[in-house]
Amino acid sequence: MSVLVYTETDKGKFKKNAWEVASYAAALAEKLGTEAVAVAINPSDPGALGTYGISRVLEVSEPRLETFNARAAAAVVKQAASQAGATVIVVSSSADARFMAPILAGVLKAGYAPNVVGLPEQTDPIVVRRTVFSNKGFAHTQLDGTLGIIGVSNNAFGAVEKNGDATAEAFSPELPDSLFSTKSVSVDKATDKIAIADAEIVVSGGRGLKGPENWGMVEELAEVLGAATACSKPVSDMGWRPHSEHVGQTGKPVASNLYIAIGISGAIQHLAGVNASKVKVVINNDPEAPFFKAADYGVVGDAFEVVPELIEKLKEFKAENA
């Protein structure tokens, strides 16, 4: 018996979500009185997972998997689960993991609970709390059967460092060529900016910013905070910002530790996609803007005065605490 975690890599480097799912798997293994084993594809430093509580890493070296392939990844994880004698498999909420996990659930005839926001409330059988209906509610889902797959929501658990060592074992799953018969498309990142999905802090702008020429201060605030930039739907519809920044019910979901909304009214469709964020701050000159009801902190004021002042104060704070 063990907990197996699928830790994702990008060009050999572990993705940020790998630390979070490894930490989750380690805590779950402790709860179940067993070990946490990771499977990683082409990792350059598998031992790094020891810092997050993993004791063993099944290291797959496979050039055909340099580009993500959901069916092949599912085959890897399936065979790793068998090798590790896993009763639970932990995956992230990345687009790749969301593509792979249902295939894995199908081939293993296992239950799959995505959007999980904490350790199981009950372990025999496993019952997890997960967000549903665009983060508007919670469901308590029971994983029946001998094997269950848990998809951990981004930033729901965090990365928890420990003083551990992980031993890496070469693992060579059988991957027939037929798994690679479909063409995989690889998308290079357009910029080196922090991706919304990986961001701990997101700075987002709405129609209140009047035009694309005013985004300099949003980008500067994001840079000072090490944040990703995002926007409301009308802003991307009008072409002020790229569609990749559109967040909300019909855009990207945000589950950051801090979400700063500038000149965004807080329409239900916007909030549906961002309310999984831990702390929400709104800057709006209308005290009646609905976002104030959903926010943890609010500044009633003109964004064109508040944001530059905030940037200045943050720069001062960083200089004093450097």
Ligand X SMILES: Cc1cc2nc3c(=O)[nH]c(=O)nc-3n(C[C@H](O)[C@H](O)[C@H](O)COP(=O)(O)OP(=O)(O)OC[C@H]3O[C@@H](n4cnc5c(N)ncnc54)[C@H](O)[C@@H]3O)c2cc1C
Residue numbers belonging to the annotated binding site? 207, 263-270, 284
**206 touches 261 (CB < 8 A):** yes
- Asked if 232 interacts with ligand X (CB under 6 A), we say yes
Contacts (CB under 6 A) with ligand X, residues 188-217:
206-208
Q: Mask 268-297, x = binds ligand X (CB under 6 A)?
A: -xx--x---------xxxx--x--------
Residue of the chain from 18, 101, 235, 276 that contacts ligand X (CB under 6 A):
235
Strand order through the sheet with 201-205 = 228-231, 201-205, 258-262, 279-284, 297-300
Map tokens 């904490």 to a residue: 118
The one-letter amino acid code at 146 reads: T
Instruction: Report which DSSP code applies to 252.
Output: B
- Asked if 234 interacts with ligand X (CB under 6 A), we say yes
Closest approach, Cβ 301 to ligand X, in A, equals 7
Closest approach, Cβ 225 to ligand X, in A, equals 18
- Asked if 134 interacts with ligand X (CB under 6 A), we say no
**231 touches 173 (CB < 8 A):** no
Which residue number, 46 or 273, has a Cβ lying nearer to ligand X?
Answer: 273
Rg (CA), the chain: 21
Residues annotated within a binding site for FAD: 207, 263-270, 284
The pairing of beta strand 167-170 with beta strand 228-231: unpaired
Which residue number, 180 or 304, has a Cβ lying nearer to ligand X?
Answer: 304
Residue of the chain from 250, 279, 309, 316 that contacts ligand X (CB under 6 A):
250
- Asked if 131 interacts with ligand X (CB under 6 A), we say no
- Asked if 169 interacts with ligand X (CB under 6 A), we say no
Closest approach, Cβ 208 to ligand X, in A, equals 2
Q: Classify 87 as helix, strand or coil.
A: strand
Closest approach, Cβ 315 to ligand X, in A, equals 21
Closest approach, Cβ 255 to ligand X, in A, equals 15
- Asked if 248 interacts with ligand X (CB under 6 A), we say yes
The one-letter amino acid code at 205 reads: G
Taking the alpha carbons at both ends of the chain, their separation in whole angstroms is: 46
Burial of 134 (0-12, 13-18, 19+ CB in 10 A): middle
From the CB of residue 64, how many other CB atoms can be counted at a distance below 10 Å? 12
Binding range to ligand X, per CB under 6 A, among 129-137, 172-180, 185-193, 247-255: 247-255
> In the chain, what is the greatest distance between 2 CA atoms, to the nearest angstrom?
61
Q: What are 40's strand-pairing partners?
A: 7, 59
- Asked if 249 interacts with ligand X (CB under 6 A), we say yes
Q: Classify 124 as helix, strand or coil.
A: coil
The one-letter amino acid code at 253 reads: P
Which residue number, 267 or 294, has a Cβ lying nearer to ligand X?
Answer: 267
- How far is Cα 119 from Cα 127, in angstroms, rounded to an integer? 9
Closest approach, Cβ 212 to ligand X, in A, equals 13
Closest approach, Cβ 139 to ligand X, in A, equals 22
- Size of residue set near ligand X by CB under 6 A: 26
- Asked if 142 interacts with ligand X (CB under 6 A), we say no
- How far is Cα 306 from Cα 315, in angstroms, rounded to an integer? 14
Q: Which of these, 316, 114, 146, 144, lies nearest to 224 by C-alpha position?
A: 316
Which residue number, 26 or 217, has a Cβ lying nearer to ligand X?
Answer: 217
Q: Give the binding site for ligand X (CB under 6 A).
A: 206-208, 232-235, 248-251, 263-265, 267, 269-270, 273, 283-286, 289, 302-304
